[in-house]
Every structure is written in structure tokens, then in C-alpha cells.
């Protein structure tokens, strides 16, 4: 008897898995502007959203795209946009607005080699620091980085869940090799993953404070048009959303905005490890390079090097010292391979704080880092 095919098994690319993840998470609005290598996300959602009652709109540029998903989210829809490096740069002011106004939304950045238009079809990881610090001012942000096609699905769902739970923009930082990679993927059954809905106010409209602390550091968010009237601004605001210059209100709002992330680090931080039990050489990688790093660790162990791998799935916020110290108890060397000139390595060096030597393996010309390059970095003295 022929083996029955699993209807959830698909051969698909990372960008297509991102589309499936967005729909599974409840995304019902997408606004974007085509840009390589993320365009398949917009194309996929333009076909699929109308069939589930959602809306797709191609905007005139990335500035407008970001503004549109903020507006849709305020109206009560789970909203997303997708872009690459040049468009991501244009979105920064409105990402800052979403952070300040605490509007949930998801921004997918499928990175390509840059700066400027660079090499549109070649992979890079050059937007790591922009994802954290691209917009001005002090604010928290959550950034996730998949390395497999299945993770493109899983982390897209996770991005929406984190965004809705903590009222914050979340960035899914892919790269061209992951977005255009094709793999056999078994998509999970809908009952096997969590889908989070934003907290709605349980009080009457006249008592509602969209930035109050009656429910803790993450206030409930009422959609416009449901009887709850409130002000939305990028200015520092009071509990009702109106601009304020009072330092006590400004500081309270800023501290609450950071606390909603800092108090939930165990739920936000996410990584996977391989062969750490006896490792004295630690490789820290993310995105497509994590695939190469896993192969390098396996080859290093065959050559007598006690290597281990940490694959970062949450890039920002980065783990505090209490998370890092146990990983470095026997470690003499940390190798950080990435497709840039050393952006996440800066954060690793800060966290390691001299407890082990940190060695970078970098490439920013559109080519890939090979396992041999990572193994060679482990062996250098």
C-alpha cells in the first residue's frame, strides 16, 4: 500500500513560509512596496489575504507602507509589512512612532548586501544594528532571526504573538539565503501552536486609559471605532495619550515601556544549542550562517575540537549577564561568524566582558562563510 502523503508537508521557500506563518498568526492586513529579496512575501499575501477576509495594498513607498500598517493595527487588525535594507532605512521614523505609541505590528526585513542598493540578490546580515538602533531615541525592540524555512513559519507566528502580547513592533530579520532557500517543510497543525490576541479593555470607555498601568506594564488596546476614544501621538504622552511635558509622566511612561520587555525576558529570549556539555569553544551564529556554523561544529568535533553552537533566534533584546555567565564557565574562545563586518560580535564582546577570547569571522561581499573558515578560526592561537 502506498504511503499516504502528509497534507502539511510542502516544498517551499522561506518567504513563502513567512506568508503561511503570517496567515496562521491572524495577519489580516499587509501594506508594502516590492523590493528584492522580499517581494515573494508581498506577492503571496496579495493572493492569499483576500481569501481570508484580509486586505492587501501596495503603497507608493516604504514610508507609507509602515504608516499604513500602524493605522491598520490601531483599527484592530494584525498587520505586517516586508522589505529589505534600503526600504528598512526609510521605515525607521515610523518604527519609532510605533514604539512610542505602542502599536503592535510586524516588520520583515529580508537582508541583502549593501550599503545602498548594493547586491540586491545576494545575502547579508548588515542590518543587525539598524534593527536595534535604527530609529532615534531610547525604546525597546524585539528582533527575531530564522535560519531554516520552518523557522520562517514559526518565528513569523512568534513575531505576531510577541507584538500583540507586549504592544510593540517586532522585526523579523531574515536574510536572502533564508528567504530564497527551498526546503521540505512540514507545517504544524493549527492546534499545535499558540495564537495570541491583544488584550482588550474590560472597563467602560469613560474609564479607559490607553497608556495606563491598571493592567500592569502592558495596557489593553481598544480598536478605533469601538466606542473607545483616545489620542495617539509620537510625542511623550500621559496615560490618556495626550502630549505632556511633565517629567513625572514622561519618566513613568518611559520606564513602563521598557519594563514590559525587561520583565518578560524569559518569554522573549529564545535560542537553540548544540553540543555545549563539554564545549570549550563556543560558536554564536544566527540566520543562514547558523547553518554553516552547525556543520563547522560537527567537523571540528571530528578533528578533536570540543566545539559547541548557540543559534540565536532572538537577537534583541540580547541576553543579560545572568544568562551568559553559565555558558562561559569552561569556554576559552567564542567565535562569531556573520555576513557583515562584525555587528553582533560587538554585543557578544560586551556580554563576554573578557571572560573568554572573542574571534570574528566576517564577510560582507555577498559571498557565504564556509565551514572551513569557521573551523580555521577555532584553531587559530
Measured CA to CA, the distance from residue 373 to residue 296 in angstroms comes to 8
Measured CA to CA, the distance from residue 88 to residue 140 in angstroms comes to 17
Start-end ranges of CATH 3.40.50.970 in the chain? 9-192
Using alpha carbons only, give the angle 212, 217, 221 rounded to the nearest 5 degrees. Answer: 55
Using alpha carbons only, give the angle 21, 27, 28 rounded to the nearest 5 degrees. Answer: 140
Q: What are phi and psi of 347, to 5 degrees?
A: -70, -35
Nearest to 36 by CA among 93, 82, 89, 90: 82
pLDDT for res 4: 57
Measured CA to CA, the distance from residue 142 to residue 268 in angstroms comes to 8
Give the SS3 label for residue 120: strand
**Which overall architecture, per CATH, does domain 273-379 show?**
3-Layer(aba) Sandwich (3.40)
Start-end ranges of CATH 3.40.50.920 in the chain? 273-379
C-alpha cell of 15?
518567504
pTM of the predicted model, to two decimals? Answer: 0.96
DSSP state of 26: T
- Mean pLDDT per segment of 10 residues, for the chain of length 381 residues? 65 97 98 98 98 98 98 98 98 98 98 96 97 96 98 98 98 98 95 95 94 91 93 96 97 96 97 96 98 98 97 96 88 97 96 95 97 94 59
Burial class (CB in 10 A: 0-12, 13-18, 19+), 217: middle
Measured CA to CA, the distance from residue 281 to residue 331 in angstroms comes to 6
pLDDT for res 378: 96
pLDDT for res 9: 85
Q: Spell out where the chain has E strands.
A: 9-13, 27-32, 55-58, 78-83, 105-113, 119-123, 142-144, 169-175, 182-186, 271-274, 281-285, 307-312, 314-316, 333-338, 357-362
Q: What are phi and psi of 55, to 5 degrees?
A: -125, 135
pLDDT for res 347: 96
pLDDT for res 380: 72
C-alpha cell of 108?
520583515
CB 262 within 8 A of CB 146: no
pLDDT for res 327: 85
Superfamily name with CATH number, domain 9-192:
Thiamin diphosphate (ThDP)-binding fold, Pyr/PP domains (3.40.50.970)
DSSP state of 237: B
Look up cell 553540543; give the residue. Answer: 275
Amino acid at each position: 500500500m502506498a504511503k499516504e502523503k502528509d497534507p502539511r508537508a510542502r516544498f517551499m521557500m522561506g518567504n513563502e513560509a513567512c506568508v503561511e506563518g503570517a496567515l496562521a498568526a491572524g495577519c489580516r492586513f499587509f501594506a508594502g512596496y516590492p523590493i528584492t529579496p522580499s517581494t515573494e512575501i508581498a506577492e503571496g499575501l496579495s493572493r492569499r489575504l483576500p481569501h481570508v477576509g484580509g486586505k492587501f495594498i501596495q503603497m507608493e513607498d516604504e514610508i507609507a507602507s509602515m504608516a499604513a500598517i500602524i493605522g491598520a493595527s490601531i483599527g484592530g487588525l494584525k498587520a505586517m509589512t516586508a522589505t529589505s535594507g534600503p526600504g528598512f532605512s526609510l521605515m525607521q521614523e515610523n518604527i519609532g512612532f510605533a514604539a512610542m505609541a505602542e502599536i503592535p505590528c510586524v516588520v520583515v526585513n529580508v537582508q541583502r548586501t549593501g550599503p545602498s542598493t548594493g547586491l540586491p540578490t545576494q545575502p547579508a546580515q548588515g542590518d543587525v544594528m539598524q534593527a536595534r538602533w535604527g530609529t532615534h531615541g531610547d525604546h525597546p525592540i524585539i528582533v527575531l532571526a530564522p535560519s531554516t524555512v520552518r523557522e520562517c513559519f514559526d518565528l513569523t507566528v512568534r513575531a505576531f504573538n510577541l507584538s500583540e502580547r507586549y504592544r510593540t513592533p517586532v522585526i523579523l530579520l531574515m536574510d536572502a539565503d533564508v528567504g530564497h532557500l527551498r526546503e521540505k517543510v512540514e507545517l504544524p497543525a493549527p492546534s499545535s501552536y499558540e495564537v495570541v490576541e491583544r488584550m482588550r479593555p474590560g472597563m467602560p470607555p469613560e474609564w479607559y486609559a490607553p497608556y495606563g498601568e491598571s493592567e500592569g506594564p502592558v495596557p489593553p488596546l481598544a480598536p478605533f471605532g469601538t466606542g473607545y476614544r483616545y489620542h495617539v501621538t509620537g510625542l511623550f504622552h500621559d496615560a490618556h495619550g495626550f502630549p505632556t511635558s511633565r517629567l513625572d509622566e514622561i519618566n513613568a511612561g518611559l520606564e513602563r515601556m521598557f519594563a514590559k520587555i525587561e520583565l518578560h525576558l524569559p518569554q522573549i529570549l529564545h535560542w537553540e544549542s548544540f553540543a555545549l556539555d563539554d564545549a570549550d569553544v563556543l560558536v554564536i551564529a544566527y540566520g543562514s550562517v547558523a547553518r554553516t556554523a552547525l556543520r563547522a561544529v560537527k567537523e571540528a568535533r571530528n578533528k578533536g575540537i570540543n566545539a559547541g553552537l548557540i543559534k540565536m533566534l532572538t537577537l534583541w533584546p540580547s541576553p543579560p549577564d545572568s544568562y551568559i555567565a553559565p555558558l562561559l564557565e569552561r569556554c576559552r574562545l567564542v567565535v562569531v561568524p556573520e555576513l557583515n563586518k562584525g555587528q553582533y560580535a560587538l554585543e557578544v564582546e560586551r556580554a563576554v566582558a573578557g571572560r573568554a577570547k572573542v574571534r570574528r569571522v566576517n564577510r560582507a561581499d555577498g559571498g557565504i562563510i564556509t565551514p572551513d573558515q569557521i573551523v580555521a578560526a577555532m584553531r587559530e592561537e
